[in-house]
Amino acid sequence: MDRPAAEDDRFKPIYSALANMFNCNLAKMLSVISPLFLSTLVAGHGHVTNIVINGVSYNGWDIGVYPYEADPPTVVAWGTPNTGNGFISPDDYGNPNIICHENATNAKGYAAVTAGDKVNLQWTAWPDSHHGPVITYLANCGDSCETVDKTTLEFFKIDGVGLVSNSAVPGTWADDQLIVNNNSWLVEIPPTLAPGYYVLRHEIIALHSAESADGAQNYPQCFNLQVTGSGTASPAGVLGTKLYTEKEAGILVNIYTSLSTYVVPGPTLYSGAVSVTQSSSSVTATGTPTTGMDGTSASTESSAEASTLASVVSTSSSAAIAIQETTMATTVKVVSTTSTIAPTVNTASITSTPLVTTAVPSDSSAQSLYGQCGGINWTGTTACTTQATCSSVNPYYYQCVVTAV
């Protein structure tokens, strides 16, 4: 959705000034100042709205709606009470929050996928200043990913892309490829993998402030999968709280210098991993999460929802985005009482691109409020939308802020 896309950047000038004064980190600074201030201001920059497997789209965790619901719908994504679209900081790498995001709770359903199939993860509009790697892991849950203790999950890396090109500082990164592919990332489930229940942990690490200690931003997103097929491999993994360290080369790094190499953080890539050429996936149907080991389908999807979504895809104006949000917020409360054996698929045809649209400034030649409008190596527009002014945050980052009155 458009609304939260740049929420935390509006305070970047304040953050920068404070950080310069105290050589400290924004999130920490604000948390010292006031927890309320923190929760209000340090909103982050993205999450996965849905995943697409062979054209079938499964809803993610709607951070704008589900945290407010007593009984949110069953989805294949892990939940979080965090409505701020935020990130996890390096000083939390030893804390369970790094596993599947802040205070994450198990997804109540899962999607089936055959080993060797690809999963497309659809993000909200990703800010192009937030350069960094895109990394994906799997962890075997044993009997159930719906009840597994996340702190026992052992993750093995199935994909990890970092610096793609260093021809121009700060370089072209995996997340730049993600943006080009409609803010989505494609990953293949290793064909040799043994069948079973797995948590897929997918993550962007934004490095735009990573030259400072505790400056990287991790955006982990988790999904439950049932992998089928005839593979036999059970790769060894690493606990989520052991994936990264605060000072490793790929975390504490200055991307505003020319980097000859960049080591993707975390454990080494699983030998059976298959890297794929990035592309976005078309959505042809809406999938219903499956629950339990007997494969009962969850009763949270409805064809009404599917048709509503179908009617709002391909929107591009801000007004249309606002309508889409309202519609979705209303529609997700529609609960079908139908219960069938899964995986069931609503074949109401949703064609064209996934459900997320890119933020469009009201004046297409000007940057939107809180967006980047200048800085060393910036090639985009330096004009800001109405009632916003371009202001220097640091030599590499100028931002559209509200015009002083």
Residues that bind Cu ion (CB under 5 A): 8, 45
CB of 36 to Cu ion, least distance (A): 20
Q: Of 8 and 305, which has the nearer Cβ to Cu ion?
A: 8
Q: Which run of H or E residues covers position 347?
A: none
In DSSP terms, 119 is beta-bridged to 53, 187
CB of 45 to Cu ion, least distance (A): 3
Whole-angstrom CA distances from 132 to 20, 25, 115, 179 are 23, 19, 28, 12
Q: Of 12 and 157, which has the nearer Cβ to Cu ion?
A: 12
CB of 7 to Cu ion, least distance (A): 8
Q: How far apart are CA 239 and CA 156, in angstroms?
A: 9
Q: How far apart are CA 246 and CA 361, in angstroms?
A: 36
Q: Of 4 and 235, which has the nearer Cβ to Cu ion?
A: 4
Q: Of 8 and 301, which has the nearer Cβ to Cu ion?
A: 8
CB of 63 to Cu ion, least distance (A): 15
CB of 373 to Cu ion, least distance (A): 16
Burial of 108 (0-12, 13-18, 19+ CB in 10 A): buried
Q: Locate 106 and state its tokens.
A: 């198990």
CB of 139 to Cu ion, least distance (A): 27
Q: Of 170 and 237, which has the nearer Cβ to Cu ion?
A: 170
Q: Of 212 and 284, which has the nearer Cβ to Cu ion?
A: 212
Q: Name the region of 257 (left: φ>0; alpha: ψ -120 to 50; beta: rest).
A: beta
User: Which residue do the tokens 């897929």 mark?
Assistant: 200
CB of 209 to Cu ion, least distance (A): 9
Q: Of 45 and 150, which has the nearer Cβ to Cu ion?
A: 45
In DSSP terms, 55 is beta-bridged to none
Q: How far apart are CA 352 and CA 280, in angstroms?
A: 10
Burial of 152 (0-12, 13-18, 19+ CB in 10 A): exposed
- Choose among 134, 215, 123, 122: nearest CA to 175: 134
Q: Are 66 and 72 in contact (CB under 8 A)?
A: yes
Q: Of 8 and 146, which has the nearer Cβ to Cu ion?
A: 8
Q: How far apart are CA 379 and CA 382, in angstroms?
A: 9
Q: How far apart are CA 374 and CA 341, in angstroms?
A: 54
- Choose among 250, 246, 243: nearest CA to 265: 250
Q: How far apart are CA 284 and CA 312, in angstroms?
A: 14
CB of 361 to Cu ion, least distance (A): 18
CB of 9 to Cu ion, least distance (A): 6
Q: Of 45 and 47, which has the nearer Cβ to Cu ion?
A: 45
CB of 382 to Cu ion, least distance (A): 20
Q: Of 45 and 157, which has the nearer Cβ to Cu ion?
A: 45
Using Cβ positions, the residue closest to Cu ion within the complex turns out to be 45
Query: Which pairing describes strands 285-287 and 56-59: parallel, antiparallel, or unpaired?
Result: parallel
CB 229: neighbour CB atoms within 10 A? 17
